[in-house]
Chain A
Amino acid sequence: MVTPVLMIAIPLLAAFLMPLIKKAHRYFTFSILLLNAILSVLLFAKVYNDGAIYETIAGFSPPVGIYLAVDNLSALLALIINLFATINFVTSKKDFKFSMLYLLGVTGATGIVLTGDIFNMFVFFEITAVASYALVASKKDEKAVEGSIKYMILGSVGSSFMLIGIAIIYSQLKSLNLYDIAARISSMDPKMMWLSFSFLLTGIGVEAELFPLNGWVPDAYEGASSNIASFLSFGPSKASIYAIARLLIIFSMSRTYELALYVGIATLLIGEVAAFMQKNEKRMLAYSSIGQMGLILIAFSLIKDTSYAIPAAFFIIVSHASAKSSLFLISGKKGFGGITSKYVGLAGVLSLIGMPPMAGFWGKWYLLMGIADEKMWAVAAVIIFSAVIEAIYFARYLHKNLGEGESEDLGYSIPAAVMVSVSIVMGILPLIYNMAGGVLNA
C-alpha cells in the first residue's frame, strides 16, 4: 500500500499546484509535509517488518527504468527529513513561493535518500540544490544574496562534476542503476572507475560540505534565515552525505574508504578548528556542521570493516540533524530569552558533544567502538582533540547566550524543542540500534 513513490510524487505535485492555492498555502504545505511524514513512518514500519523495498516506476525493469530502493537506513533518513521538515515549516511566515521552494527542497532531499538510480539521484540533487539556492536568498538582504550566489556557483560546479562522473559510468557500463553498477563495477577500466569516482565524490562533496569543497557553507548559513539554515542542516546535507555513503558502498574499494577517511578527518579538523574562535554565532554553527559532517564521513568510511559504522553514522546524523537544526532555529536572538530556548540550547549542545541521554552519546560510543575494532588510534586521537575543541567553543556559545535578552519567541523555540527532543528520544531508546543494524547492503 505505502510506496516510496508517493513520498516523492505527492510533494512534487503539491509544489506545482502551489500557485493555484495562494491563500491557504501554508496550511496546504504543512498538511502535505505532515502527510509525507506519516507516509514515511508507515514506510519505515513496512520496511522494518518486510525488508527492503525495490520498486520500479512505469514498468521498466531495473537496468533501464527509474528505480527506487528503500532499506531501513534510508527509510529512517526519509522519516527524519520529512519529520523535521514538517516541524521546521511551522516557523515559516513567507509567501507561497517560499512554500513551493520548500516543498521542492524536501522532495529533492527525500528523493536522494530513496532513489536507487544514479541519474535520478542527480536530478533530485538538482531539485534540492536549486530550491536551496532560492531559499537561502529568500531573506532578501545583502548577506543572504551573497550566500545564495556563492552556494549557487559552487553548487553548479559540483553538479557538473557529478554529471561528468555519471556520464563516465554510463559510457562504461551502460547502466544507471546503483545495484547494477555495484555488481559490475569491477569490470570497469580501473582508470575510468577512479576518474568517475573522483568526479562523483567531488560533485556530491560540495553539497555534503566536505573540505575543501565547502566554501559556500559559512556564507550561506550566515545569510539564510534561521529556519532555512536549520533546513539546510537536516535536509540537503544529510541526504548528500548519505549519497556519499552509497557511493562508497558501490565502489567498495579499500582505497576509496581510505580516501573517505582522510577527507573526513580533514573536514572534521578544519571545521572544528575554524569554529573554535569564530565569534559570529551562525558561522560558528556552520563550521561546527562541517566538523560534524567530517565525523559522519569517518563513520561511513568504516562501513566495510565494522558493523558499528552504520549505527555510529546514524546516531551522529540524528543527533546533528536534530540538535544543529534546533540551535539554528533559536539562533539570531540576543541570548536565550526564556526557559525553553535555554533548555533547547543546552540539550542541543549536550547532544552534539555526545552526552547522554542524547543520540550523540550513542554516536560517539559506536564510532569509538568501531575505531577500536579497526585499531586506528590516530583517528581516535583526532576525535579526542576535536571533541575537546568542540566542547570549548560550545561552552562559550552557551555562556554568550545566557543573557536575558529579548523575550522568547515561542514560535521558534517550541519547534526547536520538538526537534531536539527527537535526539533525546533516540538517545533514551537505543532500540534503533537493532533496526539500523545490518542494512544498506547492496
Chain B
Amino acid sequence: MLELIFAVLLIAAFATLFIKSGRIAAIISLIASAMPLIAVMDWANDFGIKAFSFGVENSMDFSIAGITMHLSITSFAWFFAVMVFSLLPPIFLFSYSFFEKNNGFFPFMLFLITAVFGILLASDFLTLFFFWELMAASSFILVYISRDKKAIMSYLAFSVLSAVLILVGIALLYSQSGTLIFSDIVLNADKVTVSAIILMVAGFAVKSALMPLHAWAPFVYSKADEPFVAFLSGGLSKVGYYGMFFMLFALPGAKILHQYFNSGVATYLLAVIGAISAFIGTLLAFMEDDLRKLLAYSSIAQLGYIAVGFGIGSSLAMAGALFQAFNHAFFKSVLFLAAGAVAYRTGKWKISELGGVGYKMPFTFMAALFAIFALAAIPITSGFAAKWLLYEAAVSNKYIFITPIMLIAGVGAFLYSFRILYGVFLGENRHDDIKEAPLPMIAGMFLLVLPLIIFLIFPGYMLDMMHSALVDAGIGTISHTNYVIRTGTASYNTLAVVIGMMVVMIPAFLIYVLRKQKKVDFKDNFLAGEPYEFYGYISMHAANNFYKPIEDVIMPYLRKGAISFYTALYNAMGRVSDASRKIYTGLSQDYTIYIIIFFFIIVGWLIW
C-alpha cells in the first residue's frame, strides 16, 4: 500500500510532465495528492485518534542491492505530515484555475510531495538525506520556472548550503556511532556529535528561513508561482522544522547539547535567534511594498516563533511551537493564495498600486481576513492559543530578553496586517473592472481556513493531536481540556472568551442591528470639503511609503542586514574569482613554468 502511494505519486508526476493543459494536470495532481493524505488519516489510529482505517501499513523497507531505505512513520512525523499534506488538495484545487497551461508546476510539485512524504517517513539518515535532496532539487525547479535571477541563485545556493551542512552533520554522526539507522544511534556528549547536531540544525534552519539563513526567502517567495509559494511557506518550512524537531528532541540532540555545555546555552541561543528572527522579520515586513515580499518577511517572523519554542524546549513551549507551526501552515497558505487570486485578477503585486480589491472580491477578502486574524493572533482565533503558549513558556522560564522581543513582534504583526487589509483589500476603490476569483480558487482558500476555525474554540483538539508526538519525544504534555489550557501559572479558557464576548456583544449588536443607514459610495468622502471628482487625477489611496515616519527611524539600523552581508560576500567572492583567473595568463610559457615549478615543489616536498 505504501509502495502504491509512492508509485501513484511518481506516475502522476511523470504523466503530468507530458500534459499541456493545466486543468487536466491539476485534476490528476489533486487525486494523487489525496493519496498521502489518506495514509496520514489512516495512521491517526496509531496515535490515539479515532479515524477511518484503510489498512495502510506504517513502515516499509525498500531495498536495492546494497542500499536499504527504511521507511516508517513516527508520531512526530505524523503530526507534521498532517499539517503538510492537508495543505495540498486545496492548493491543487486553487491551481486548477490558476494555471491555464502546465508550465512544469504540477510534475515537480508531485515530485516535491513524494520527497516530503519520504522525508517524513524516513527512519535512517540515508533515506532522510536522499529525500531531502530530492525535495531541494524539485523545489529548485519550481523556483527555476519563475525565471528570476536572484530567486534562482539564492535558492540554489542556500539549498546546497543546507544540503551540505546536513550531509556533513550526518557524516560526523556516522563517524561517531557507525550506523545510519535512527533507532540504533547512540549519542555521546562529545565535540564531534555536538558539532554534528549544530550543523544539521543549521542545515534544516535554512529551509525554515531562520534569520541569518533567510536571505533566499524574500526573493523566492516574491517571484515563484503562488500555489508553490503557499506550499513552500506553509509546508516546506515545516519540513525544516521537522528536521530540527527530530534532531533536537527525537535523537535527542538537545540533551546532548545540555550535557556538553553543562547548561542550556545552545538551545537558548536557538531561542534568541528565533526571537530576533520574529522581531526583525516583522520590522522588515511592514516596510515592504511588494505584497509577496511582505508575506515573505512575515513568514520569516512567524516561523521565528517556532524556533523560540524549540529553543526553550519545555512542554509548554513545544506545544506552542507545534501549534504555531500548524496555524502558520494554514493561514500563510491562505494569504499567499489570496495574493495569488488578487494578482490573477489584477495582475499587480505592489500594495501601492492595489487597493479596494475587497469590494469586488469579497470572498477572497473574507478568507484573507480570517487568515490575518489568525496571523495577528487575535484571541478569538486559533492563532492566539499558540502564541499564548509560547509567551507563557518564555515568561515561566524567566527569559527576560526573549519575551519582550516576541511580544513586540506580535504587536508588529498588527502593523503589517493592516498594511495588507487596507492597502490591498480596502481603501480607494480603484478596480472597477475586476470580478471575484473563480470558484475553485475560493473553495481552495476556504478549505484551508476551515482548520483554523475548528481549533478556534477547541485548542484542546490540537493538543490531543500533538500529544503522542510530545510524549514520544520525551517532552511531556500540558494539562488541558477541550477548551481550557492550563499552565503552572495561568490558564486560558477559550469558551470563557467566546461566551463573555457573546454577552458583551449584546449592546453593540443592538446598535448594529437597529442602526438605520444609507449606503454611500466611496466617492462621498470627507476630503476637506473638496468633491472627490476634483481629486480624480490624484490617488486618494494612502499606500505609498505607508510607514515612512517609522521607517526613517528604523531603517538606518537595519540597512546592514543579512542580505546586504550576503551581497557583499558575493561581490568579495567575485573579486577573489577575478583575481584567481589572473593565474591563467593565456601564455604557454607561463604555463610551462607552472609545470616546472609544480614539479620541483612536489619533488622537494616528497624527498625532503
The chain A residues found within 8 Å of chain B, CB to CB, are: 149-150, 153-154, 157-158, 161, 190-191, 194-195, 197-199, 201-202, 205-206, 212-213, 215-216, 218-219, 255-256, 259, 263, 270, 273-278, 287, 346, 350, 353-357, 361, 364-365, 368-369, 371-373, 375, 380, 383-384, 387-392, 394-396, 398-399, 402, 429-431, 433-434, 437
Contact = CB atoms under 8 A, between A and B. Distances in A.
30 contacts: A153-B588, A157-B595, A190-B607, A195-B607, A198-B603, A199-B599, A201-B602, A202-B595, A202-B598, A213-B594, A256-B606, A270-B580, A270-B583, A274-B577, A277-B578, A278-B581, A365-B167, A369-B174, A373-B175, A375-B175, A375-B192, A384-B164, A384-B165, A388-B157, A398-B144, A399-B149, A399-B152, A430-B67, A431-B64, A434-B65
A276 B153 CA distance: 12
A271 to B, nearest CB: 9
Interface residues of B, number: 61
A259 B577 contact: no
Given A355-B134, A388-B157, A391-B157, A346 B584 contact: no
Given A277-B574, A380-B168, A394-B156, A219 B64 contact: no
Given A202-B598, A273-B577, 13 more contacts: A150-B588, A154-B592, A202-B595, A215-B588, A274-B577, A276-B573, A276-B574, A277-B577, A287-B581, A350-B140, A356-B133, A384-B161, A388-B157
Contact of A365 (B65, B126, B192, B595): B126
Contacts of A199: 599
Nearest to B604: A198
B140 to A, nearest CB: 7
Interface of B: 64-67, 126, 129-130, 133-134, 136-137, 140-141, 144, 147, 149, 152-153, 155-157, 159-161, 163-165, 167-168, 170-172, 174-175, 192, 570, 573-574, 576-578, 580-581, 583-586, 588, 590-592, 594-595, 597-599, 602-603, 605-607
Nearest to B17: A343
A383 B64 CA distance: 28
Contacts of A158: 595
DSSP class of B's interface residues: helix, strand, loop or mixed? helix
A107 B249 CA distance: 57
A201 B603 CA distance: 10
A346 B605 CA distance: 42
Contacts of B165: 384
A390 B156 CA distance: 10
Contacts of B65: 430-431, 433-434
B590 A215 contact: yes
Contacts of B168: 368, 372, 380, 384
Contact of B594 (A195, A198, A215, A357): A215
DSSP class of A's interface residues: helix, strand, loop or mixed? helix
A1 B167 CA distance: 45
A206 B595 CA distance: 8
Contacts of A190: 607
Given A213-B594, A368-B167, A388-B161, A197 B606 contact: yes
A277 B581 CA distance: 9
A275 B573 CA distance: 11
B599 A354 contact: no
Contact of B134 (A161, A278, A357, A364): A357
Contact of B66 (A150, A197, A380, A430): A430
Nearest to A263: B602
